Amino acid sequence: MTTKFYKLNAAKLNIPSIIKIRKMPEHLKHKEIIETNLKNYSVIRVMKSTTLSKKDHKKNRFYNSISFEPHLVQVVIIENPITLYKFLKSTPKQLFKYTRGLNIILFSSINVEIEDIQKFLIFYWEEYQRLNVIVQAPFCCKLNTSWVIFKPFEPTQFGFGQIQIHDLEHMLQTNMNLLQNHAARLNGYPLRISLFERYPTALTSLPKLLEDSKIYKPFSNSPGLFGVDGMSMRYLSKIMNFEINLCTDSECQYFGVVFSSNRSVIGSLNKILERTIDIQGNGWFIMDYGIKNLEFTLPYDFDELCIVTLKAPKKPVWLKMLFLFKEDAGIAIIVTILLLTVINRQHSLIDSAMEMYCILIGQPSLCAIKKNQLWKRILIGSASIFSLIITTVFTSTLFMALQTVTYFPNMQTLEEVDNSNVKMISSFDPFAKSPLKLYERLSKKFMLDPKLTDILKCVVQGLGAGVERYTDGQLRIATEYLSPDGSPLLHIVPDCPKKMFLGYLTPMGSPYLEVINYYLRKFGEAGLFIKWHQDFIYAIKLVVQTHHHNKHGKIRVLDLNDVYVAFCILIYGLLGSFFVFLVEILKGQYDTRRQRLKNQGRRKFICNIFRLNNKGVYK
């Protein structure tokens, strides 16, 4: 094990530099440390001094306060660095997950070499990312009056990382604040970040309307990241002064999932668990994913998980014409016309119906009214006014029906989605482990694909319904998935199963989490998240709407589709009249033949009678 320890860390000896600090700056003030014994370990409480007046020391104290958790203190007493290394390699990392506290290590051996401490501190930072570690060897002649610390963010000629040996006496007389590390200013230290492109919260290029904006121009030490998530990472990089080292592995290009069968993890989620990335910069739903060893940042927004389906089909024109009026209005109009026809009857009912039909459509009609028939004059006048109003309403309603694209009702509830028996595709099942029977049935219809990043594209292709965030889906449907007439191709079911907060993801015990939370809180208080969201949404929508208007919004010449219904009615009328004409011809031929046969029979009858009479005369 000792040989393995040296092999792992011997190559790293050239990375940090070793500085022994013997004299502290004179302007630093003393910081009181109170030590109390509790059972078999010590608890160290750092008392903040109020006598510091220098600006730099105030900043340093502030940075320490947002990086350090004073209630997390761990004191380790062990023989030497090699023994501690063996212990750490045989102990699960979960026991040392709280890395933002103070870790004091006391080596009891009389022979402790600074090289061994150096190797151990490097290993301790790279494996466990302990931010504040103070090492002392009180029984070692060389180091009994010194405290050894590791400054991981200190830039040197060899890179980042510096072993510092502080004289105990001078440190107690001056300022203990310098022993603490903070993550508020990282001096250009590279952080491993996973941030994959996800429209519209994580973009690699600016919308056209924001290209000239000074606010959204890329910084010198960060790649081009835009959208709410991209801007959050960029401004964190600028304020905390770290370099964004984007993860380009294939697993970093999607969220990931935990498989319930064998509890294996893939995607960016696996990278977080392996601690190979420091921050996952895409917005995650803050929820229980069934695994430990990860932490969420403070929520910066909230969203809903909703079911997305294909929009209901369009109503055919003939069906729209049948329902120009509501049921009660249509029945009232038909009954009124029938009553007028019956009241107006003088000879045959057909003649009365034709007369009333001509009046209703505004056509002239020959109507003989006697002098003493005042009631009929009033009837015809009221029928004319009635027809004028009804035909005007009918014409306007018909115009609106022909110009407006109407659809069958969309699904509005999860019960309707369940009854439709449509398959659902997603990278995540929002109904899993729910006790509700409805959710259990819906969960059985899911086809999960952890690497699926474009749900809406699959839904448009007719592969089934999908699960998408409401905000993102609403924007994409309004900008990407539109028909030529500007109507959406997809529909979001309003009955969304889950509504949760959004946050970023870090490994358990991340030394940067407290600082990230502090600045995310400041971003929210300043309204930056709202501004970024509205700016990008507005810019994206305006560009798409302008392009769509230029393509489809110009005045155009009428084509056959615009007068399709009129031609259909005319053709159907001609076919109907031709059919009636054939019936009339056949009926005329039938009547003529019948009359001919009738006449022939009558002539035969007369002839027979004449013959009989003649026979009687001859006799």
Q: pLDDT value at position 17? A: 36
Alpha helices in 461-563 (DSSP H): 470-479, 513-525, 528-552
What is the reported pLDDT for 365? 63
Q: How far is residue 224's CA from residue 217's CA, in Å, rounded to a whole number?
A: 8
Query: Does an H or E element contain 104, and which?
Result: strand 102-107
Residue found by looking up tokens 């798409």 in the block: 544
pLDDT at 513: 92
Neighbouring C-beta atoms of residue 178, cutoff 10 Å: 20
| pTM exceeds cut of 0.85 | no
Tokens of 289: 């994913």
At 487, which helix (H) or strand (E)? none
Residue with tokens 């020959």: 366
Which residues, in sequence order, are CB contacts of 616 under 8 Å at separation 6+?
A: none
CA–CA distance, 514 with 184 (Å, rounded to integer): 9
Which parts of the chain sit beneath pLDDT 50?
1-53, 617-619
DSSP state of 36: E
pLDDT in tens, 573-603: 788 888 888 888 888 888 888 777 777 777 7
Q: Report the distance separating Cα 124 and Cα 19, nearest Å.
A: 19
For residue 408, give both structure tokens.
Answer: 């069958």
pLDDT for 557 equals 60
Q: What totals of helices (H) and strands (E) does the chain contain, helices first?
A: 18, 20
Q: Which residues contact 480 (CB under 8 A, 6 or more apart)?
A: 456, 544
Task: Report the pLDDT value the prediction gives residue 363, as an integer from 0 to 100.
Answer: 63
Query: Of all residues in the chain, what percent carry a pLDDT higher than 70?
Result: 77
Token pair of 74 as six digits: 């761990």
